[in-house]
Structure formats: C-alpha cells, structure tokens
C-alpha cells in the first residue's frame, strides 16, 4: 500500500494518522534503556478513513491483529516502568500523558502527533471470514456480494407479505381497524445512507438506498402493530431544535427583581442587554433614551420587535450598551441580544416560536472584501470593446 | 487414511450405479406437472428455434411443451442435484423474476443452500477471488428457476457458469435458449403454480440427499463434515 511505511521501532508501537513523510524517529536513549525488539511495523494512513471495514476484503489478518495486541501490552508495561509508575494499573490516560511527555510535539494537527492506543481502536472492525472449515459460506445470500443488505431487504419483504396477508384476512371478516392518526413513528426520521452502511458494515449504492426506503415505507403504510419495533430500529430520533438554545441564567438583584443579560452581534456592532422584570417598559441605550439614540423609526421597530412578538411590551426595563458599526447594525445587534435575554423568561413553546420567527438566528451577512481587478466586491470595471 | 478415502470413493461410485438411487421418480408425476400448468409455453412469435424439439405442438398460437420429455429431463436434473447435494456440493439458485424472488430465496434457505435473485454483478463467478476474497469456494451447481433476466435476455450466469466449468440445471421456457444449460428442463417459468412446484421438488430432493448423507455418516460413525465433491 502506498500509504504505509515501515519503521524500526523500540518496544513501543507507533501510530501516526497522516505522518507518511514525517521523520518521527525514536530517540536512541529510549532503546538503550529498554530491551529493543527491532521489528518492521507498518503504519497506515488509512486509520482515519471512514468505513474502512466495508472497503474490501481483509487488509489485516487475525494473527497480525493478535500480534499487535501482544506488542501493545508489552509496550505498555515498559512505558510504565520507564515513567516509574505502577505497571499493573496503567490506564490509557496515563499512556497518553507519558507519550506527550516523552515525545513532545508542537505539530498543529492533533492527529499528526505520536499516539499509542489499543489496536482495536486503530484497526477498524473487519468482517470475519465468511466461510467455515469446509469452505461453505455461512450466509445463504453470500454469493450476491451484499449479504447484509439483501438479507435486510428479504426480511423486510417477508414482513410486508405477512402484514398484507393479515390485512386481507381481517378485511374478509370486516374487522379492519380504523387507521390510527397518531403513529409512534412521529418525531423520528429514517436512517441516512451512511448510517445504514455503518449498520450493515457494507457499502451500498444510492439506488440500493432508494429501494430500501421504498420498501420500508411500504411496510409503514401497511400500518400493522407488530412491526413498529422493527421499523423503530431503522429510524433515529429527531432532536427538538429549540432544546439546543442556550438560555442565559436568571439572576436576582438587590430589590428582588429578576434580570438576565445577553450579548448579540451584527456586522461589526456588538451590543449587550440587561432585561429587568417588573419594570415600566423603559428602554435606555448607552445612557440615552431610545428616541434620542435611534432617530430612525426602522431601528426602533427592530429593537422592539422581540417584545411585541412575545407580547411582553410594558413588562421589562431594558438597559443596553452598544458599540461599533452603524445605526442599523447596532439595532440588529441589540435585537439579537434582547431576544436571547428574553429566553430565560419564556416557556419552551414560545422559545420555539421565536426560533421559527428568526429572532434567535444571528445574521451571517458581513461586508464582502474588494477583489483585485474589480472595482468593488462584485462590480467589475467598465467593459471596453477595444 | 488411504484406505478410508478408497472406501469412500468405492461407495460413491456404487451410488452412481443405480439410475435412481434416491427414488426421485415418486416425487412427481405427469398429472401433477399438467395440473401445475407446466406445459404452457409462450406465443408462437416468442418461440426460440432451439426449443422446437421440446414442443408438443401449439394451440391457438400458444406453444405447448411436451410433458413426456419434461418428465425425462426433470428426472435427470433432480437426480444430478441429489448426487451433488449428497457429496456436499454448494448449490446456487438463480432467478431474476421479481414475482418469485422471495420464494426462491426462502427455498434456498430452507434446504441450507444459497440463492441469488438480485442484480448480477459482472465478475461474481469469473472474478471471484477479487469480489469475495481470496480462497473462496465457487458453487458446484447453479439452478435456474428462470433463465431470462428482466429484459428478456439470457442471464449472464449461464455463460459465466459454462466458462467456469460449473454444471447448470435450468427451467427453459419456449422463449429461452437451452444451449449452454447442462440439464435443461423444458417447462413453464411464468405461472406461480409451476414455480412453486419446482421449488418444492428441488427442496425435497436436496433435503432427501442430505438426510441420506447424514444417515451414512452416522452408520460409519464419522463426525467430520461432508467431504468436497469428487470432480
């Protein structure tokens, strides 16, 4: 393999993720202290490639892996001896610490630094040999090439047939149950193609994935009660988006009123807001009143919109401080800060409404740079025919 | 253990002496084949020239397959399958008809053999060490429940099995090419009744042969797995 290099090592096993051409040579002092097993050990940059197990036939044989495990254990004991620590209870954290101490590396990429881990974490999970002593394959769909995928399709189709048969029987006796509107499959989504590949330890094509989805949706339509566990195993829970919002903590000041603080940014303006409960609806920005600071109506509307949307217009006292940018971006920064500060006073449903209204999304638009050969960011110089 | 292998060989040669060692002629009769509509072929326009010897005639432009010939060929095919299964050979069921794919796979699983009713990737038989891994064992017999693929052309596996010297058993309809199939069985491959009959027959044959094998091993007190078939 072009990606692997052989290196002479001491009793330690080297694994560097993408260190094909790095000159990581073991210091001679290490080998003089410890009994040296000079052996060519091949490194692999394929450690960090995704889904190696399904890449093809076995690259690492079982004996090789077993040998690596033995060498790792021996090396661990030597390392513990070297560091003067307890040989029996030497954990992975101790190993990492010792390696970082013995071989300090200032490389930026963490994956390029020397590491010593158990071979099970380095060499990916492989499919074991598919046939027995008489060389008959174990699985009845072995000769298709994609046995796990086609096995899944076969089982799913068997369930579809069983569900259809049951429905026919019930319909014949006119005992067909009403289609229930509430399904236990709500709030989840089907597996993605990558997740399916991981599950089956096999590569499948886009067409295979489409066929899988069609079959599994067909089973869902049949709506029989027994198949829900099977279908759920092929689905993943959807996270409720609003639960991901970071709500600023609610604090209490000397008079017993609760308040919260939050920050917001827009273009190059940064603002911070302190919302105090049980106030009279005053808004003060950088020490001056709202009408004096923001002369334009649009800016004032932007600032008030979160309060208007949630319907808490006269309830809070707002103290803002803002710097940078122009008047419009300052208004936008304060609006975001105000929405975030408001989260700690609201219920989950209102938080979700605010998120869907776009009040909690920071505006990603920034000024685009001017490019050479052009007048501005997009504007080109006047085109001359000659 | 030269004496042991010689004794095994002698016994295997003895099984070949009788024409119907597994008594497979009692599994089916011409009447059963007729009831399962095995004699119905396709229309005259679809007829393959090389199937003409197997046809009884045609009625209202639909070809009728000669069931006498079918019985002979089916007997030969089942006998061959039984002997292969008796010697522990790998049998692969192939069919590209979507209507019967699940049935064929279930049949294969029930008799402990293998099935391929999906899209046939190019080098499965001819490029096996690279497709599956080094040291793979290829099937010793391929049984076609339908020799055509989804676009009504001859299945690639017939040609590939012939290339790899793997014997084939195939149900050939009146629009199929029986040339490269070692044991063709002229018969209907479209009707569910006919295909279910074939599946049942093959399953019973293979199970019967395997049970006979187990009995033999018990009698001889062997606990080793069945040996590879003599080629």
Q: What is the pLDDT of residues A110-151, one digit of tens each?
A: 889 999 999 988 887 667 778 888 899 999 999 998 999 999
pLDDT the model gives residue B135? 85
Task: Band the pLDDT of A5: cuts 50, 70, 90.
Answer: very low
Task: Band the pLDDT of A181: cuts 50, 70, 90.
Answer: low
Name the residue among A130, A133, A161 with its Cβ closest to that of B225.
A133
Q: Chain B residues with CB inside 8 Å of A143's CB? A: 92, 114-116, 124, 139
Chain B CA closest to residue A139: B114
Contact (CB, 8 A) for A62 and A133: no
The answer to whether ipTM exceeds 0.85 is: yes
- Mean pLDDT, residues B153-163: 95
Kindly list the strands in the beta sheet with B114-116, ordered across the sheet, starting from the edge strand earlier in the chain: B114-116, B91-94, B141-144, B168-172, B183-186
**For chain B, how far is it from start to end, CA to CA, in angstroms?**
20
Q: Chain B residues with CB inside 8 Å of A157's CB? A: 102
- Mean pLDDT, residues A22-48: 42
- Mean pLDDT, residues A279-294: 91
pLDDT the model gives residue A43? 39
Question: Lowest mean pLDDT: which of A243-252, A259-268, B38-47, B131-140?
Answer: A243-252
* pLDDT above 70 (res B230): no
* pLDDT above 70 (res B227): no
SS3 letters across chain A: CCCCCEEECCCCCCECCCCCCCCCCCCHHHHHHCCCCCCEEECCHHHHCCCHHHCCCCCCCHHHHHHHHHHHHHHHHHHHHHHCCCCCCCCHHHHHHHHHHHCCCCCCCHHHCCECCCHHHHCCCCCCCCECCCCCECCCCHHHCCHHHHHHHHHHHHHHHHHHHHHHHHHHCCCCCCCCCCCCCCCEEECCHHHHHHHHCCCCCHHHHHHHHHHHHHHHHHCCHHHHHHHHCCEEECCCHHHHCCCCCCEECCCCCEEEEEEEEECCEEEEEEEECCCCCCEEECCEEHHHHCCCHHHHHHHHHHHHHHCCCCCCEEEEEEECCCHHHHHHHHHHHHHHHHHHHCCHHHHHHHHHHCCCCCCCCCCCCCCCCECCCCCECCCCCC
What is the distance in angstroms between the Cα of B215 and the nearest Cα belonging to chain A?
19
Contact (CB, 8 A) for A304 and A273: no
75-94 of A, contacting B, C-beta below 8 A:
none
Question: Lowest mean pLDDT: which of A224-228, A267-271, A336-340?
Answer: A224-228
- Whether residues A134 and B228 touch (CB distance < 8 A) is answered with yes
Mean pLDDT score of chain A = 82
Question: Lowest mean pLDDT: which of A53-57, A93-97, A190-194, B88-92?
Answer: A53-57
- Whether residues A140 and B114 touch (CB distance < 8 A) is answered with yes
Q: Chain B residues with CB inside 8 Å of A127's CB? A: none
Q: Chain A residues with CB inside 8 Å of B210's CB? A: none
Task: Band the pLDDT of A242: cuts 50, 70, 90.
Answer: low
Distance CA B218, CA B197 (A): 32
Q: Which secondary-structure segment (H or E) carries B75? A: helix B67-86
- Whether residues B115 and A137 touch (CB distance < 8 A) is answered with no
Distance CA B50, CA B231 (A): 30
Distance CA B79, CA A341 (A): 83
Chain B CA closest to residue A154: B102
Task: Band the pLDDT of B222: cuts 50, 70, 90.
Answer: low
Name the residue among B102, B137, B139 with its Cβ closest to that of A154.
B102
| Percent of chain A at pLDDT exceeding 90 | 52
Question: Lowest mean pLDDT: which of A273-282, B144-153, B218-227?
Answer: B218-227
pLDDT the model gives residue A7? 43
The encoded tokens of residue B179 equal: 């040339």
CA distances from B109 to A134, A139, B199 (A): 18, 9, 12
A154 and chain B: CB distance < 8 Å anywhere?
yes
Name the residue among A129, A143, A158 with its Cβ closest to that of B92.
A143
Task: Band the pLDDT of B198: cuts 50, 70, 90.
Answer: very high
Distance CA A280, CA A294 (A): 20
Chain A CA closest to residue B107: A140
The encoded tokens of residue A154 equal: 């076969």
Distance CA A124, CA A198 (A): 12
B89 and chain A: CB distance < 8 Å anywhere?
no
- Whether residues A134 and B225 touch (CB distance < 8 A) is answered with yes
- Mean pLDDT, residues B90-106: 96
Distance CA B169, CA A364 (A): 67
- Whether residues A129 and B133 touch (CB distance < 8 A) is answered with yes
* pLDDT above 70 (res B155): yes
The encoded tokens of residue B160 equal: 């590939």
* pLDDT above 50 (res B89): yes
Task: Band the pLDDT of A2: cuts 50, 70, 90.
Answer: very low
The pairing of beta strand B40-43 with beta strand B114-116 = unpaired
Task: Band the pLDDT of B134: cuts 50, 70, 90.
Answer: confident
Q: What DSSP character marks residue B124?
A: T
Distance CA B61, CA B179 (A): 24
Q: Which of A137, A140, A212 is the best mutation test for B, with the most CBs of B within 10 A?
A: A140
Task: Band the pLDDT of A55: cuts 50, 70, 90.
Answer: low
Residues ≥6 apart with Cβ < 8 Å to A21: none
What is the distance in angstroms between the Cα of B200 and the nearest Cα belonging to chain A?
18
- Mean pLDDT, residues A149-156: 95
Name the residue among B90, B116, B137 with its Cβ closest to that of A144.
B116
pLDDT the model gives residue A11? 39
B184 and chain A: CB distance < 8 Å anywhere?
no
Q: Which residues pair with A252 in a beta bridge?
A: A258
Q: Which residues pair with A269 in a beta bridge?
A: A266
Residue pairs spanning A and B at CB distance below 8 A: 58
Q: If we measure between CA atoms, which residue out of B190, B171, B149, B170 comes closest to residue B40?
A: B190
Mean pLDDT score of chain B = 92
What's the whole-model pTM score? Answer: 0.70
| Percent of chain B at pLDDT exceeding 70 | 94
Q: If we measure between CA atoms, which residue out of A117, A108, A197, A215 comes closest to residue A157?
A: A215
pLDDT the model gives residue A16? 41
Q: Chain A residues with CB inside 8 Å of B139's CB? A: 143
Chain A CA closest to residue B125: A143
pLDDT the model gives residue A122? 83
A129 and chain B: CB distance < 8 Å anywhere?
yes
pLDDT the model gives residue A174? 86
Chain B CA closest to residue A159: B102
């Amino acid at each position: 393999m072009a990606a692997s290099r052989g290196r002479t090592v001491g009793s330690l096993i080297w694994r560097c993720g993408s260190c094909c051409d790095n000159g990581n040579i073991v210091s001679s002092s290490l080998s003089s202290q410890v009994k040296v097993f000079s052996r060519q050990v091949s490194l692999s940059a394929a450690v960090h490639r995704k889904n190696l197990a399904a890449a093809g036939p076995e690259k690492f044989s079982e004996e090789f892996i077993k040998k690596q495990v033995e060498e790792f254990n021996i090396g661990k004991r030597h390392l513990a001896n070297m560091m003067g620590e307890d040989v029996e209870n030497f954990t992975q954290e101790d190993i990492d610490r010792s390696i970082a101490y013995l071989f300090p590396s200032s490389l930026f990429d963490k994956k390029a630094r020397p590491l010593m881990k158990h071979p099970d974490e380095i060499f990916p999970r492989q499919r074991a040999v598919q046939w027995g002593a008489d060389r008959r394959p174990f699985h009845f769909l072995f000769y298709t090439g994609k046995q796990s995928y086609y096995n899944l399709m076969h089982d799913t189709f068997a369930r579809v047939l069983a569900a259809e048969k049951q429905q026919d029987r019930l319909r014949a006796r006119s005992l067909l149950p009403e289609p229930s509107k509430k399904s236990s499959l709500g709030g989840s989504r089907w597996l993605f193609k990558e997740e399916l590949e991981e599950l089956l330890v096999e590569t499948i094509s886009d067409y295979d994935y489409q066929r899988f989805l069609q079959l599994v949706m067909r089973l869902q339509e049949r709506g029989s009660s027994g198949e829900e566990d099977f279908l759920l195993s092929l689905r993943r829970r959807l996270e409720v988006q609003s639960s991901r919002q970071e709500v600023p903590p609610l604090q209490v000041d000397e008079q017993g009123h609760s308040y919260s603080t939050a920050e917001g940014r827009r273009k190059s303006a940064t603002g911070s807001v302190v919302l105090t409960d049980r106030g009279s609806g005053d808004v003060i920005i950088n020490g001056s009143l709202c009408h004096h600071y923001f002369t334009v109506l649009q800016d004032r509307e932007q600032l008030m919109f979160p309060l208007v949307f949630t319907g808490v217009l006269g309830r809070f006292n707002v103290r803002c401080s803002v710097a940078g940018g122009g008047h419009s971006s300052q208004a936008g920064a304060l609006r975001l800060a105000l929405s975030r500060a408001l989260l700690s006073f609201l219920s989950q449903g209102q938080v979700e409404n605010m998120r869907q209204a776009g009040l909690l999304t920071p505006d990603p638009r920034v000024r685009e740079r001017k490019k050479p050969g052009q007048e501005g960011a997009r504007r080109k110089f006047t085109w001359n025919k000659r | 253990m030269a004496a042991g292998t010689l004794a095994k060989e002698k016994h295997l040669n003895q099984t070949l002496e009788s024409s119907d060692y597994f008594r497979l002629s009692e599994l089916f009769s011409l009447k059963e084949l007729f009831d399962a509509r095995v004699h119905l072929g396709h229309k005259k326009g679809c007829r393959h020239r090389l199937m003409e010897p197997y046809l009884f005639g045609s009625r209202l432009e639909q070809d009728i397959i000669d069931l006498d010939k079918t019985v002979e060929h089916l007997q030969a095919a089942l006998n061959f399958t039984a002997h292969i299964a008796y010697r522990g050979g790998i049998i692969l069921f192939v069919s590209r008809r979507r209507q019967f794919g699940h049935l064929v796979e279930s049949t294969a699983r029930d008799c402990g053999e293998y099935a391929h009713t999906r899209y046939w990737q190019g080098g499965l038989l001819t490029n096996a060490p690279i497709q599956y891994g080094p040291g793979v064992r290829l099937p010793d017999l391929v049984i076609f429940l339908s020799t055509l693929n989804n676009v009504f052309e001859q299945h690639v596996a017939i040609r590939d099995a012939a290339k790899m010297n793997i014997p084939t058993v195939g149900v050939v309809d009146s629009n199929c090419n029986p040339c490269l199939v070692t044991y063709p069985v002229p018969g209907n491959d479209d009707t569910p009744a006919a295909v279910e009959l074939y599946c049942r027959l093959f399953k019973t044959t293979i199970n019967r042969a395997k049970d006979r094998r187990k009995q033999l091993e018990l009698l001889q007190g062997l606990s080793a797995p069945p040996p590879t078939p003599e080629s």
